[in-house]
Amino acid sequence: MTSFRFAVNVTPKPGILDPAGRAVEGSLGHLGIEGVQDVRIGRRAELTVEATEVTVARAVVERMASELLSNPLIEVFEIESIAGASSATDSQAGAD
Amino acid sequence: MTSFRFAVNVTPKPGILDPAGRAVEGSLGHLGIEGVQDVRIGRRAELTVEATEVTVARAVVERMASELLSNPLIEVFEIESIAGASSATDSQAGAD
């Protein structure tokens, strides 16, 4: 078995009201920040899957994303493969 | 002025309690999903910045990420450049 690390990005569907995004936009003036628009706020899940191969692992993540991590009526998700395998404790603040 | 689209991924710092991640892990049994571990739940913000060049736009996003979108005491963030420019309404469910 191999460990595969994935991220699932869940964002509001286009056209769906995004109150958190509006709140962020409303706060920009207090920070003196201009030129920012179209803010969408969603969730990001990072997880490790133990599987025999990556396609099997990704299928598990697809199922989790659609049944547990997102609401298909109002949200879309995308899955990305990320580095880190079974240990994902190496992320850094501000890293690109 | 050019439009640059970014995503900011905010996740709990390593070692910081993540109750949402534990809740997801606790739900996996109900779905009959095995082999998933190290679930971390964070936020993802997507936004467009109008700026003269990408370095200026990224500096704005860095400031937003550290002062508005994350709590530096308990969270880390990473910034990614994403496609979409000023219109980011083209994401698709389940796309990789």
Domains observed in chain B = 2-81 (3.30.1280.10)
Per-residue pLDDT of chain A (96 residues; tens, 9 = 90+): 899 999 999 999 999 999 999 999 999 999 999 999 999 999 999 999 999 999 999 999 999 999 999 999 999 999 999 987 543 333 444 444
Q: What is the pLDDT of residue B94?
A: 42
Nearest CB among B69, B80, B95 relative to A78 is that of: B95
Alpha helices in chain A, H assignment, sequence order: 19-31, 54-64
Q: Give how far B96 is from chain A: nearest CA, Å.
A: 5
Task: Give the separation between CA A18 and CA A20, rounded to whole angstroms.
Answer: 6
Pick the closest to residue B11 from B89, B65, B67 (CA basis). Answer: B65
Q: Which pLDDT belongs to residue A31?
A: 92
**Phi and psi for B67 in degrees, rounded to 5?**
-100, -20
Question: What was the ipTM of the complex prediction?
Answer: 0.83
- Residue B87 CB: number of other CB atoms within 10 A? 11
The answer, as to whether pTM is greater than 0.80, is yes
Give, as one character, the DSSP assignment of residue B61: H
